[in-house]
Structure 1
Amino acid sequence: MRSNSESNSAVNLDIEKDAGGDYAHLTNNAVSSYSWENVTVTVKDRQSKQPKDILSSVTGSVQAGEMLALMGPSGSGKTTLLNVLAHRTVLGTVQQSLYLNGSPTSLKSFRKLSAYVEQEDALVGSLTVRETLYFATQLSLPSSITKAARILRIENLIASFGLQGQRDTLIGTPIRKGVSGGQKRRVSVASQLITSPSILFLDEPTSGLDSAASFEVINFVRDIAKKYKILVIASIHQPSTTTFELFDKLLLMSLGKVAYNGPVSGIKDYFDALGYSMPLFTNPAEFVIQLVNTDFARDQSSATQRLQSIQDAYQTSSSSQKITHSIADQVADTSSSTPLSTSQDTANKFLIPLTLIHRSFIKSYRDLVAYGIRIAMYMGLAIMMGTVWLRLSTHQSNINAFTNAIFFGGAFMSFMAVAYIPAYLEDLSLYHKERQNGLYGPTSFMLANFIIGIPYLFIITILFSLIAYWLGNFRPSAEGFWVWVMWLFLDLLAAESLVVLLSSLIPIFVVALAATAFANGLWMSVNGFMVAPGTLNVFWRYVFHYIDYQAYVFRGMMVNEFGKRVYECEELVGGGCSCMYPSSLEGQCKIDGKAVLAQYGYNTEHVGKYVGYMIVIILGYRVLGWLVLKMRK
C-alpha cells in the first residue's frame, strides 16, 4: 500500500496496479482545494412574511486530505450549508460562489468528483455487505471496467473499512438482524467511495451511534481521506472529544453566521483571546456549541449580545482574512491549476434498469415484507372466500351469491395492495438518494419497479385463483379459469400502479395508506356493483366510473361467469317454474346467464376493448407516477 505522503492518489490507482492497468483512464484529476465565498440562503419568514437569511455570507475552504467539521446548534444552518456545497436543492433563494481549484464549479462536473452520504442509511436491508457494494459498482462505475476489476475494488474497500467478517452478512431488516449501526455507516461510506471521489460529504455520520461507534466510523473516514487525499466535509452534532480531534478544521455556525472557522487545534487559544476560557477536562465540541447556543439561555439579551460579539470578532479576525486571501489567490491562479475533466466515462444507461431489476429481485425473495406477507394475505383471503362461497350450485338462488363473490374477489384483491406501500417507500427512499448522486433518473426506476412486480403479481393471482375459483364453483372450464386469472392479474397491476402513484405523490406511510384506502373505497362505490352503471348518478358515472379500473374488472368477470352459463329456475309445487330473470330459456325452466348481464347493462361483446382500457389505465398510473418523480427535484 502507498504511504500517506503520496498526494493525488486514489483507490482506483491501487486497483490499476493489481488489475493490469484497466483503470488508467479512470483516475480523477487532482482536486487540491474546494472553496466557497459569501454563501447566502434567503427564505420568506412564515410569521412576518419578510425575507430572512438562514445562511449569511458564509466563506470557507478545505484542502485535499483535510476533514472539515460543520457544527452548530439546531437551526444554525449547517445542513443547509452542506447541501449548498454539495450542489443539492435547498429551499429559498441561494447566492453562492463555489470553486474547485479556484475555478467555478458546475453540477455536471461536480457530481463526477463528489459523493454524498445521507444522514439516514438508505441501504437495501436484504442485501449483504458485498452485494451492496457490488450494485454500487454496477450503478456508478463505467461499463468499460472489467468484472475482475470491480470485484477487486469491492474487496479492497471491504478490507479498508474492516468489514471482512461481515462481507456476507445482511445489512438487516426490521425482521432480520444484520450488521451493527457502526458497520452500517461504514458500508454507506464505502458505497460512496466506490467511484474514488475527490470530495466526500457526510450528513451527521455519527447520528444514532454511541461514542465508540462514532469514533470508529470517523477514524475510518479520516484514514481514507489522509491516504487518498480526499476532501471531507461533514456536518456533525456534539461529538466526543476523541472523535472531534480527528477533524482538521471546524466551521462553527449559529443563526446562519460563522462564529469560528479554523483549525481544531486552535480553538482553545482563539476563544481564550476573546475572553471565553475553556475549563480543564472539557469537551471542546460541547464548549463551543454551548458558547454560541442561545436557545436555552435564561438571559436571552445577554446571550444574543455574546453571540453577536463572537460573530463580529470572527469577521475581523486574522483567520477570516487568511481564508479570504487564500480563495482570492486560488481564483487568480487558475491558469496554473490542473484542469478538471468533465468527459469521464459513465455507467451504461441502458444496463441500469437491468441492474435495478436484479437488485429488486434479490430483495423481493429475501424480504418477506415486499411480497411474502402479501402472498400469505392473499392465500388467506382465497381460503376464506372459497369456503364462504363453497361449491355454489347453479340454482337461481345463488346468482346473487356469484355476483357478490365476483365483486368481493376483485375489490378486495385491489384493496389489499396497500400492503405494498412500506416496501415501495423503502425503494423510493433509496431512489431519491441515488438520484441525488446522479446515478439514474425516474425512467429507470419506474421501469424496473414495474417489471419486477409482474411475475410476483402473476404468482399471487394464480395461487389465489386455484383456491377461490374452484372452491366457489365458478364456470368450470379451462377458458373460464384463465379469463378469471387475466382479469385479476390486470386488477392487481392497476392496484399496485395506483399505490406507486399515490406513494410517489405523498411519500409518507400513513398519508399514502389513507389516500390509497380512500381511492379504493371510491372505486368500489362506482364500479357498477353497488349501483348499476345505467342508473348511477350522472356526476359519478361520467367523472369516475369510466376511469375506474375495478369497473372493467367487475364487468369482465361478470361476462366470464354469466356469458356462457345457464342456471336452473325454481320449480313450483303445482308444476311449472318461476325464473328470477326472464330469458329465451324460460320455457325449459332455465335462465340464460346473459339475462343477468342485461340487468347491469352488460353484453358479451368488445371484451378486448375493455382489456385495452385496463392497460391504458395501468400505464396511465405509471406515467403519472413517473411525472411526479420527474418534477420532484
Structure 2
Amino acid sequence: MHWKMERIYSRDPVVARGKTIVATLHQPSSELYALFDRILLMAEGRVAFMGTTSQACTFFETLGAACPSNYNPADYFVQMLAVVPGEEISCRHATNTVCDAFQKSEHGVKLALEAEAINGEFEDSLRDSSTNYSKNRSLYKASWCEQFRAVLWRSWLSVIKEPILVKVRLLQTVMVSLLVGIVYFNQRLDQDGVMNINGALFIFLTNMTFQNVFAVISVFCTELPIFLREHRNGMYRTDVYFLCKTLAEAPIFIAVPLLFTVIAYPMIGLYPGIDHFFITAGIVALVANVSTSFGYLISCVSSNLSMALSIGPPVIIPFLLFGGFFLNTASVPIYFEWFSYLSWFRYGNEALLINQWSEVESIECTRSNATCPKSGRMVLQTFNFKQVHVQRIFLISHIEIYRALLYRTLLDRYCLPLLLNCHIPFFGIFGSTVEDLDKFQTTLNVAVAVA
C-alpha cells in the first residue's frame, strides 16, 4: 500500500510527460482528493458532476447543499449520491435531482456537446481500427485448440468441484429407481402386467425428462454474464464455450440413465435378454439427453432463473400429453398432429414398447370378462405403434435440433447482451446494470479525451 501511495503522490513527473492519469477510488482521503485536477461523479448510471474539484464544491453549493468547510469533499459527495437502505425512494429522488441539475447547467450542456462530438469521432476510429484489426489477425488471444482445451478443463472442474451435488444426483436416481422397482416389482406377462409395465416404462421417460431439465435449467441463466464478459475480452469463441459446456456435463447425463435402468429393469421384470436391456438403456439415455438439450435451451432464452422455472413446466406438459400414453396417437386431432411429432415422449415411449413387446408371443389372460391382448404385437396395435425402428433416429435429431437452437441463441445473446437483467457492482459505490456500464464507458472515454 505504501508503494501505491508513493506512485500516486509522484504523479507530477508523469503529468509533465503529457500522460493522463485516470483513477477510481472509494472514499479517498482529503489529501488524495486534493491531488485530482478533475473528478467524475456517477450515480445510478448517470453523470452527477464532471469538472474540477473547485467546480464540484461550487455546483453543490448552488443546489443548496454546500460542503462544510471542515468536511472531506469526497466523503460528502458519496453521502449525497449514495442510496441508503430503507430510504431508496428519497435517495434516488435526490440523486436524480442532482443529475438533472448538472445536465441542464451551462457546464453540463457544454460537456454534452463536446461528448457528442468526441464520441462520434471515437466510434468512427474504433470501427476503422476494428476493421483493420480483423483483416490482420484474429480477435482471440489463443488458437481454437488452445481455447477448447482450456475451457473444457475449466468446465470439467466446475462439474467435479462440488462432489456433493454429483452424489446427491446419483443418490436421487438410486432412490427413484428403487421406488419404481418396488412399486412395479416382478410383473407378470398377463393383462394386468401389460398395463403396469407400460406405465413403468413411461415413468422412465417422465423421470429422465424432469430430472435432467431441472438439473440444467439454471446453467446459462447464471453463467451467461460471465460468458459475455470473457467472450468480449477475446478469451474464447462462442462455439468453444458451447462445445465444452455440453461435453463436460455429458458423462453425468449418460451415467444417470444407465444407473436408473440397471436398478429398475430387473426389479420390474422387463423382457429378459442383454440386448433388450442395452436397447432400453440407450433409449433412456437418448431421452435424457434430449431433455437436457431442451433444458439448456430454456435456460439460455430466459433472462433469469425465475423466468426459466416459469417457462419450463408449461412447455413440457404438451410434449407429455402427446407421448402416446395419455392420448392414443391415432386419436390425436388433425390440427395437433404436427405437434405430436415434436414430442420426444412419443418416440421414447414407442421405442421402449417395441423393445418390450415385439418378441412376446403370448400373454396370459386371467379374466375372461376383460379385454386382453393375446400377444405383444396386439399391445403395440393398441397404441397404434408400428414395429419400425426409426424412433432412435428421431431422438438423435431432437438432440441436434435443440443443440443447434441453443448455439444460435448463444450467438444472439452475445450480440444483444443488454437483454440480460444481471446486476453488476460499480466500484463498490453505485449499483449499475450492463446498460449503465456502457454509459460509463462512453463517459470515461469522453473524460479522458477532454482531460
Per the normalisation by structure 1, the TM-score is 0.52
Answer whether contact 1:461 1:489 (CA < 8 A) is retained. yes
Q: Deviations over 1:333-386 (max 9, x none)?
A: x9xxxxxx9457731023323322211111111225864433232222111111
Partner residue, 1:628 = 409
In structure 2, the gaps of 5 or more residues are 8-13, 84-88, 126-131, 416-451
1:66 to 3, 9, 21: 21
* Counterpart AA for 1:625: L
Instruction: Determine which structure has the larger strand proportion and give its number.
Output: 1
Q: Which moved more, 1:253-262 or 1:435-444?
A: 253-262
Q: Deviations over 1:382-414 (max 9, x none)?
A: 111111111112233211000000111111210
- The 5-angstrom pairing of residues 223-372 of structure 1 reads 239-242=26-29, 245=32, 248=36, 249-253=38-42, 256=46, 259-262=49-52, 277-288=66-77, 296=90, 307-308=101-102, 311-313=105-107, 342=133, 346-368=141-163, 371-372=166-167
Answer whether contact 1:569 1:580 (CA < 8 A) is retained. no
Report the CA distance between 1:570 and its aligned residue.
3.1
2:179 is aligned with 1:378: no
* Counterpart AA for 1:402: I
* Alpha-carbon distance in structure 2 between the residues aligned to 1:296 and 1:619: 53
Per chain length, whose mean CA-contact separation is higher, i.e. which structure has more relative contact order (CA < 8 Å, sep 6+)?
2
2:235 is aligned with 1:435: no
Pair 1:602–1:394, CA change in 2 (3 A): same
* Alpha-carbon distance in structure 2 between the residues aligned to 1:298 and 1:241: 23
Pair 1:426–1:503, CA change in 2 (3 A): same
Pair 1:313–1:592, CA change in 2 (3 A): closer
Answer whether contact 1:370 1:423 (CA < 8 A) is retained. no
Matched residue SS, 1:67: coil
Partner residue, 2:129 = none
Pair 1:309–1:528, CA change in 2 (3 A): closer
* Alpha-carbon distance in structure 1 between the residues aligned to 2:218 and 2:356: 35
1:613 to 394, 403, 415: 394
Report the CA distance between 1:571 and its aligned residue.
5.4
Partner residue, 2:311 = 515
Matched residue SS, 1:617: helix
Report the CA distance between 1:250 and its aligned residue.
2.0
2:378 to 563, 586, 595: 595
In structure 1, the gaps of 5 or more residues are 8-31, 34-62, 70-217, 219-238, 335-340, 583-590
Answer whether contact 1:581 1:596 (CA < 8 A) is retained. no
2:376 is aligned with 1:564: no
Partner residue, 1:536 = 332
Answer whether contact 1:527 1:548 (CA < 8 A) is retained. yes
Determine what percentage of the aligned residue pairs are the same residue.
17
Report the CA distance between 1:424 and its aligned residue.
4.0
Matched residue SS, 1:350: helix
Pair 1:369–1:554, CA change in 2 (3 A): farther
Instruction: Determine which structure has the larger helix proportion and give its number.
Output: 2
Pair 1:544–1:65, CA change in 2 (3 A): same
Answer whether contact 2:177 2:264 (CA < 8 A) is retained. yes
2:255 is aligned with 1:459: yes
- The 5-angstrom pairing of residues 478-493 of structure 1 reads 478-493=274-289
Answer whether contact 1:241 1:284 (CA < 8 A) is retained. no
Report the CA distance between 1:564 and its aligned residue.
1.6
* Alpha-carbon distance in structure 1 between the residues aligned to 2:107 and 2:147: 52
* Counterpart AA for 1:240: Q
